[in-house]
Amino acid sequence: MNPLVLIDARHVGFSMPVYLPQERNIMSNPMSLLSDFYTNQHARRIREVLAGITFTLRAGERLAIIGQNGAGKSTLLRLIGGVYKPTCGELILNCCPKGLFDIATGFLQEATGLENIYLRGLEMGLTMKDIREKIPGIVDFSGLGENIDKPFNTYSAGMRLRLAVSIALSVQPEVMLLDEWIGSGDATFQNKVTARMNSLVDGARGLMLASHNDALLKRVCTHGLVLNQGRCVFYGSVDEALDYYHTHINPKPKVAQQVKTATAIVPPRAAGEIAGKA
């Protein structure tokens, strides 16, 4: 495989079983559980989430994933990140993609902020030595100070978010997978996050970013992949991809033309005329 090709997807598809509420309820349908457990003969509906996805991500490219809600953008990113496995097609990876998914979940409520840094670091594949080296930077970036030694369940929502973001942005991935651009918190912290995100994007060999923000996609990305109902309908430059999306899938609302009514300018009456009527 060409070393400059980071990701090569060829007619990749992903399907998953669909469970209806009545099928999950053991009280209303107890035999389905027995059938699944002993004979594995209970029929399930299979939903095709992605089909025929074909694209190539080369070193230095930034790929925008464009589509309406439910088009399959998040599923595709998780497929590239190894959360799911393709059910058909061929997915060739010549890199180690890292997805920043659900960064604010998975913390232990009773553990301290510092202990959660160790736990999340291990989940991210870091060694204990790497985690210890990153702790000062994480604490400084989060601005938690001495609160890092307090239990996580005593943190405010803003403190929890700052810790989660600081941990997630402490590692430089080879290929970044982003389901929306990370940016939250107060203005000062947002500026820090934006600067760190730009630095990580510049340092990564490749990027896949799903977002509805056209201005962001044009600023960050070089190419665009348009999804519609789980299928790839366009692949090209980011400007062409956005044009295709807004022309064929999600047209932008037309701005109503404002009709300016002419206002008659009435000259002021002479002072004498006014005085005469008075």
Sequence-ordered list of residues with C-beta below 8 angstroms from that of 255, at least 6 positions apart, any chain = none
pLDDT band at 261, cuts 50/70/90?
A: very low
pLDDT band at 185, cuts 50/70/90?
A: low
Statement: residue 106 has pLDDT above 90: no
Q: Do the beta carbons of residue 63 and residue 223 sit within 8 Å?
A: yes
**Structure token pair of residue 38:** 């002993």
Statement: residue 271 has pLDDT above 70: no
- Per cent of the chain over pLDDT 70 is 80
Q: What is the rounded average pLDDT of the residues 169-196?
A: 89
Give the least confident one: 16-30, 74-88, 210-224: 16-30
Statement: residue 276 has pLDDT above 60: no
Statement: residue 248 has pLDDT above 80: yes
Segment (H or E) for 178: strand 175-179
User: C-alpha dihedral over 172, 174, 175, 179, to 10 degrees?
Assistant: -20
Q: What is the pLDDT of residue 16?
A: 87
Q: What is the pLDDT of residue 104?
A: 80
Q: What is the pLDDT of residue 45?
A: 77
Q: What is the pLDDT of residue 124?
A: 87
pTM of the model: 0.80
Residue predicted with more confidence, 255 or 109: 109
Q: What is the rounded average pLDDT of the residues 87-103?
A: 92
Q: What is the rounded average pLDDT of the residues 208-226?
A: 96
Residue predicted with more confidence, 56 or 31: 56
Q: What is the pLDDT of residue 275?
A: 45
Q: What is the mean pLDDT of the chain?
A: 86
* C-alpha distances in Å from residue 83, one per residue of 74, 90, 100, 164, 172: 11, 16, 12, 20, 20
Q: Residue 107 in 3-state DSSP?
A: coil
For domain 60-86+95-249, give the CATH superfamily.
P-loop containing nucleotide triphosphate hydrolases (3.40.50.300)
Statement: residue 269 has pLDDT above 90: no
Distance from C-alpha of 166 to C-alpha of 227, rounded to nearest angstrom:
31
Strand arrangement of the beta sheet that strand 175-179 belongs to: 88-93, 5-18, 45-58, 231-237, 223-228, 62-66, 206-210, 175-179, 97-100
Greatest alpha-carbon pair distance for the chain in Å reads 107
Tallying the residues shown for the chain, one arrives at 278
**Structure token pair of residue 5:** 């090709």
Q: What is the pLDDT of residue 22?
A: 57
Residue predicted with more confidence, 104 or 118: 118
Q: What is the rounded average pLDDT of the residues 61-75?
A: 96
- Per cent of the chain over pLDDT 90 is 68
Query: DSSP for 208-270?
Result: EEE-S-HHHHHHH-SEEEEEETTEEEEEEEHHHHHHHIIIIISPPPPPPPPPPPP---PPPPP
Statement: residue 258 has pLDDT above 50: no
pLDDT band at 188, cuts 50/70/90?
A: confident
Q: What is the rounded average pLDDT of the residues 90-119?
A: 92
Domain ranges of the chain: 60-86+95-249
